[in-house]
Amino acid sequence: MTGAPPLSRGPLRLLVALASLASLTLPFALPAGALAQARTSLPAIERQVMCVTCKIPLNVAQSPQADRERAFIQGLIDRGEGEAEIKNTLVAQYGPTVLGLPATNGFDLAAYLVPIAVVLTLLVLLVLLLPRWRRQARVQARSGKAAPALGAADAARLRSDLERFD
């Protein structure tokens, strides 16, 4: 019921190392076109683009125009185009809205900048407030150590209680 002896792990380790090496070197061994062909599929592109008339992602769109877009994308895939090329062609044909991404100019830029600004603001607030909170916590901890002195009556009652337990 015990695990495999340490010696038998040697070949396994070697196999894992070889598999890792192969996965790292495979992209360089294959021609770029073959790799793009292997990776590009209609569902993969459908998830990333919009149906321009229905204004919903293409993978959930059901309309004649969505079918035309799918056929157009399939034609590009059949020609061996990679994902980036297909997206560029789609933008050239249907306009930038086909990607369903905010533009990188005008008001749409706010979609990228606002989250960054919010994160930075929170970081700055943390940097400013954290030392203050730690100082307050230290002060509270210190004041907690020095217990208030007992009155004479309380001290007498405590003593008698403790004696009862002895």
Residues that bind other proteins in the complex, under the rule CB under 8 A: 52-53, 64-65, 68-69, 72, 91-97, 106-107, 110, 114, 121, 125, 129
44 or 72: CB nearest other proteins: 72
- Whether the CB-CB separation of 58 and 101 falls below 8 Å is answered with no
- Shortest approach of other proteins to residue 24 CB, angstroms? 39
- Shortest approach of other proteins to residue 93 CB, angstroms? 5
Q: How many Cβ atoms are within 10 Å of 89's Cβ, its own excluded?
A: 17
Name residues whose C-beta falls within 8 Å of residue 28's C-beta, 6 or more positions apart in sequence. none
40 or 94: CB nearest other proteins: 94
User: Per 3-state DSSP, what percentage of the chain is helix, strand, and coil (rounded to 5)?
Assistant: 75, 0, 20
Looking up tokens 């916590």 gives: 137
41 or 53: CB nearest other proteins: 53
- Shortest approach of other proteins to residue 58 CB, angstroms? 13
